[in-house]
Structure 1
Amino acid sequence: MIRSIPTETEETEESPTDAVPQWRTVSDPKQASQLFSQELLHRHKDSRSLFLCVDVRQDKEEQDRALVAFYSREGVRWASPLRCKLLGDDAAGSGVERHMMSTVIFKVISGFHINLGSAAITKIFEGESDHLIPSVSEQLLSKNMFGVAGRMVGHSFLHHGPCFPGLSPAVIHILFGGSLESTPVTIRDCPDLDIRDAVKMLDGEGELKECDSIHQLCLSWNLPAPNATNRKWLSEKLLLHAVIGQTTRQINQFRKGLQDTELWPLLIHRKDVIPILFPKESEAQVTPQMILDCITWPSSITVMLERSYRSVEEEESDVWDVCRVSGYLKSFIESASQAELKNLIKFWTGWEVPAAEMKVEIVEATLPTALTCFEKLRLPRHYTAFKTFQRDLCACILHHYSFGSD
């Protein structure tokens, strides 16, 4: 339970140290976030469970509408126990929950297959990597889509799921109460290329061209017309308004969505957790060594290492199969692209977050499969060429989710 430190006028038998929750005092921000989430989920463990169901037999738009409808509900205790179900699939267990959390964060970043009048895919955030800002769409505001996005991000974080990489530092600054004057806005935060060109022109030393269009833009935002004296100042004002002025209500709505998940006390009292929730895209990347450090290899490899080549008899060929195919997996991980690594982890565990113990099993099978509930990757023993192994594994992790149980 989150409790405040007693004031001087409060009578209590507990010392201030006892009253401070552990997540407030631990030095490691990752541990603080884990402790906070565990405490909050435990506090609501007896609440009515939330059931998130998506019918995989439906098209992408219907599936995305189901996700949006789930997170659009008001008055929900988002820290309540979560139960997930993929209708039309036999999958069950924690692997489905991980898949759902991974999916909602992917949708927040890439957009929903919902046509709100302008495009087949509706993007909540726009711009380039590490400079994403909320869309200026009034329709998204009216439908509380930024609140939905905030709930999705907070909900995933509480369940130790993927975080939201790539958000603009300027937006993060305002999101957590930073002043407008000190906002670290840059030209890369502006997704509108026409406005970028106008800002660059005003900030430069060359002759002002196409002043009519810039003049109209300034007037529409209640700014004075450009001239040789105010051009530098005006470029800063235009950029700030394009990035923050136009998106203030969206940021406020997104903040409200985060607050709905009861995550806000952690973010306010532990500012060092904010970069974990909103990491840079580069910091969210997965390296081959990160994956290799988490793998529990088949026990046959240990046996193999204890024997010399000459001691292995004909009937022990299965041990060589285990070593060969395991070696193919290691080679694949070491040479894979960032997208392939994330697809592999998602196929293996249900989301793009490496598990503490990712198991490998070599079996009699046709194609690679995974038991996401147990974080176990099953690889066929029949592969005798790396290129064939690589082709099949790439096809599986790109086009299929694999769940199951022993």
Structure 2
Amino acid sequence: MNKYKTTESVAKGHPDKVADQISDAILDAYITKDPLSRAAIETLVTKDNVIIAGEVLGPNMKDSEIKSIVRHTIKNIGYKNDGFHWETVKIKILLHEQSTDISIGVAHGAGDQGIMYGYATKETENLMPAPIFYAHLTLQNLMDAVEQYGLGPDAKLQITLRYENNVPVYTENIVVSIQHHENFSNVKEIIYPHIQSSLPVGWMCSEENLFVNPTGRFVIGGPVGDCGLTGRKIMVDTYGGYVQHGGGAFSGKDASKVDRSAAYMARYLAKNIVCAGLAEHCLVQFSYAIGIPKPTSFYIDTFGTSIVDQERITTFINDNIDLSSSGIIEHLSLQRPIYKCTSCFGHFGRQAKEDGSFSWEKTDLSHELYKELMEN
């Protein structure tokens, strides 16, 4: 039976991603000054305005410093348009001190209650589901290539992959909406080769199934055309809707918020289990309660692909990995200014870097898993 799976990616100029980048840039600034800073920073962007709200427990930061971060972020994205220009946009800051009730909880354990998921699959080289992998790869390559033509920065790409016998084999259709200048008429002609070169040979959909700016024009884009908010692209940020999502957004939250840190640990564990050859697919689920250090539940599902008992994997992880909120922070070294780079093109499936960003993508645990569970 053939199946079709669809997901999307959005570019750095998408209004929601503008908001995510601003929130994480401010978070990084606080952590740079004090690694123990706690923050939940929300950003709203709309025509001629940026509003920063949320809670912070950390060093004093002047409004002028925060505004400078906001303008620098918008400038790097590429907005210097009428209605949203990095130099002239109005910025309102409504940050206040973190609630003492939350601070008490963080001091003793997890910073909130919630459910988090992590996933890995052998479908792609970076152990991500193929739809989100190719959506991000294609849009990122496309945006890197077309800036010279004056296209963007607001864009999104939706891709539908055809599966046969549970294996992706073909691109059924692609939808691209990309901002362009007035009277720009050959967008499809420009972007077609960049999309084709991003996909495996023979995967490109037919030309009639490549839909580019379906309404016929996309001149008014970014925060002028649509309000943007932090945390509205949670499926784009994770696995493209391929598996369950806990519901919590990531951007603007420090690592005491298990919405973010435990989701990173869940991906780390799932990826290492698959990398070790213990399973072809792996889903890891956590749940936490505010103020309680250890997870209230920890569950692994390998969808029948595990070659060892799942209980042995769970026991090994429980015995060797500290799954408390503080243990996760230490294991993945999350008290560093590493978050702005996560806010575009997904938090997962990226390359771990020397500055500590994407530490949850390392596969160092896979060797221990293999030795303990495959050789013994």
TM-score bin (small chain): under 0.3
Larger radius of gyration: 1
Q: Which has the higher helix share?
A: 1
TM-score by length of 1: 0.21
Return the structure number with greater relative CO, CA threshold 8 A, min gap 6.
2
TM-score by length of 2: 0.22
